[in-house]
Amino acid sequence: MKHPLIALVLTLGAALPALADTLACPDPAAAVQVATCPSEGELQYTYTGYCGNDARMYAKDENCADYQSYRRLKNVALWESKDGAFQAYISCDLPAGALKNLKPASIAVTKQGKLTRLACSYAEGILFTHRTKAQCKVQDDGNCAADPAACKASCD
């Protein structure tokens, strides 16, 4: 190699262990809504299309039992954590300011094929998720309702 310094840096870089990245559950109060809520007209239209016209295909879908069940499922908007690392679909029926005082109750790690999914659970059925190819492990037991700051996972 022409440059011995470059060879040395590459050799040392390969020898260093990968640093673990710690991810904490996001603060919902700082989350940002990135998609609009569907209008009532859109919800009624998609209900008719999904549950009405092809009802025989979805006969076992309890969300097609009535319009209100379908509306609870589909009247959501995409939200992101302040840094954009976590996403959640949150009900558009949630009152303004409802995210303000929410604290994480638990964190869990699951594998989905080659991806790792971190899921942070909050009250009101809110779930912020982060997907990564890194290997992650929940710190402690994952239950952090008593200490929300403990809702963390280490990824490498």
Write the pLDDT tens digit of every residue in 116-129. Answer: 999 999 998 999 99
Between 55 and 111, residue with greater pLDDT: 111
Give how far Cα 120 sits from Cα of 70, 108, 148, Å. Answer: 25, 7, 11
Q: What confidence tens digit (pLDDT) does each residue in 19-46 have?
A: 568 999 999 999 999 999 999 999 999 9
> What angle (nearest 5°) sits at the alpha carbon of residue 134, between those of residues 132 and 135?
120
- Residues contacting residue 22 through CB under 8 Å, at least 6 positions apart: 139, 152, 153, 154, 155
Question: Average pLDDT for residues 71-78, to the nearest whole number?
Answer: 96
Please tell me the pTM assigned to this model: 0.80
Question: Average pLDDT for residues 74-98, to the nearest whole number?
Answer: 95
- Residues contacting residue 45 through CB under 8 Å, at least 6 positions apart: none
> What angle (nearest 5°) sits at the alpha carbon of residue 76, between those of residues 109 and 82?
55
Backbone angles phi, psi at 23, to 5 degrees: -110, 130
C-alpha–C-alpha distance, residues 33 and 36, integer Å: 7
Question: Average pLDDT for residues 139-144, to the nearest whole number?
Answer: 90
